[in-house]
Amino acid sequence: MIRFLLRLLGFLILAGAFVALVIDGARSIAAGAISFTPLQATWSAAFPSGIEKTRQFFDETLRAVWVFDAVAAQPTFAVLGVLGILLMLLGRRRRRLVGVAP
């Protein structure tokens, strides 16, 4: 059941990454130059207070605000794509080796 939920969540996040890539692609075509939306801009548009709370969590609890700043500066589609792929890999079924005793 957990593997199914991980795969489902990974698939949905990967779909979000694709949507972000299409939006950035359309924006780049309209502008005539490559432009990517950083995760921080997308996050602050969707959840205005959430980004500051998460930054405070990384600063006060983990003492690693540099990790948050580095990830928040990356394109939205890249961060969501990597996260979605990782979740789908965590939720995959294990391969059974043929001819090996358990």
User: How far lies 67's CA from each of 54, 83, 96, in Å?
Assistant: 11, 15, 37
User: pTM of the entire structure?
Assistant: 0.84
Region 54-81: what's the mean pLDDT?
92
Share the mean pLDDT of the chain: 92
Q: Note the pLDDT of residue 100.
A: 66
Q: How far apart are CA 96 and CA 38, in angstroms?
A: 41
Greatest C-alpha distance within the chain = 60
Is 28 within 8 Å of 35 (Cβ atoms)? yes
- 96 — pLDDT class (breaks 50, 70, 90): confident
Q: Note the pLDDT of residue 19.
A: 97
